[in-house]
Structure 1
């Protein structure tokens, strides 16, 4: 008996599993999709262009920091070959997380995507001993912190990433604005 083809849409996104973009995929396709993590926004767009993915979900605007320039640039490079199919507006609540047993007072370095760190400026001002370090993505930062098991290192990411990578949440909703959100666009190849 032949295997049935996978009928779930393949959706590329920038980052690791547990990223906010993966949550946007779940919101757009509540019946399921196959998330395809990519190392960059350009790679996520290219996956659609090459037919590896049926769609990509790319962040373009955040309530706190405004335009997501890297996402917009990736879309602009391929705009004649792509169609915008939908938009997803996802509430964004950022968590400070670290390995089991870590404390806020004991943390020294906190890594995350630069856009996520920019959404938490007030938190970092109140906790001046924390050094924010830019990472390629939120969930990747969480994965890396979990693997290192260094209680002086933390990450800023979603509660989903904390759960996925086995980290404890030290502080929830550390974003500067409680009504924080990110707007994502869903793209596919033109004419598909």
Structure 2
């Protein structure tokens, strides 16, 4: 799992460094080099989806739509929102990013009071928890890039600089803080 998370971080950094590249073909060549055998299947899928003059954003949308059409098998990893998990279950459930500021996020509803919004967010997290048949893993970060924290309205407790980048220290989701009988690792 750690290697997968590191790979996601590498991709995130890569995309940040290449955000000025808007051509879909250019992005495919950068993300899925023709000489990388491990990525040849993904490169082929992206090439089939791409049309002439597609932007990076258009290709991304097509790829997400394509992923949604792939049938689920017994050994399929399903990635979804908490809301998208309603009515489903799985042997193993991973809920990522349970930081204060993510859950509950900012109330952007014109119809719900802050109290009602927090209750709804708590219910949604409960839905996610109850999808697990065998195991439930909940994660949160202690340190996230400061600009990411600002962009997601995540309140930081303090900041620190690491390798020239500023990181904000964030807290655990307040819904999780009061749980008893749980061993946090």
Structure with the larger strand share: 1
Q: What TM-score, normalized by structure 1, do the two folds share?
A: 0.27
The structure showing larger relative contact order (alpha-carbon pairs under 8 Å, at least 6 residues apart) is 1
